[in-house]
Structure 1
Amino acid sequence: MIKKMTNSNMKKIAMVLVILVVLLLSMTVISKAASDPANHTETLEPLDEKKEDVLKLTATSAAASTALAAIPGDATTPVANKLADLTSYFLIILMVIFLEKYLVTLTGYAAFSILIPAACALLIAGICANKNFLKVLAAKIAVFGLVIYLIIPFSMNVSSVIEKTYESSVETTIKEAQDITDEIDESSDSEGNILDQAISKIKGGISGLLEKGEELLNRFIEAIAVMMVTSCLIPIVVLLFAFWIIRMLFGIQINAPKDLPKRISSKMPGGKKRSVELQKKGENV
Structure 2
Amino acid sequence: MIATRNHTPNADFVFVGFSEKKEVQAALFVVFLAIYLIMLLGNLVTLVLIGWDAQLHTPMYFFLSSLSFLDICYSSTITPRMLSDLLAERKLISYSECFTQLYFYAVFSTAECYLLAAMAYDRYVAICSPLLYATSMSSRVCVLLVGGSYLAGILNASLHVAVAQRLSFCGPNLVDHFYCEGPPLQAVSCSDTTLSKMLMLVVVGFNLFITSLTILVSYAYILATILQLPSAARKRKAFSTCTSHLAVVTLSYGSFAFVYLGSRSRHPQKLDKVASVFYTLLTPTLNPLIYSLRNKEVKAALGRAVLRTRPART
Normalised to the residue count of structure 2, the TM-score between the two structures is 0.32
RCO higher in structure (CA 8 A, sep ≥6)? 2
Normalised to the residue count of structure 1, the TM-score between the two structures is 0.34
Instruction: Name the structure where helix makes up a greater proportion of residues.
Output: 1
Larger Rg: 1 or 2? 1
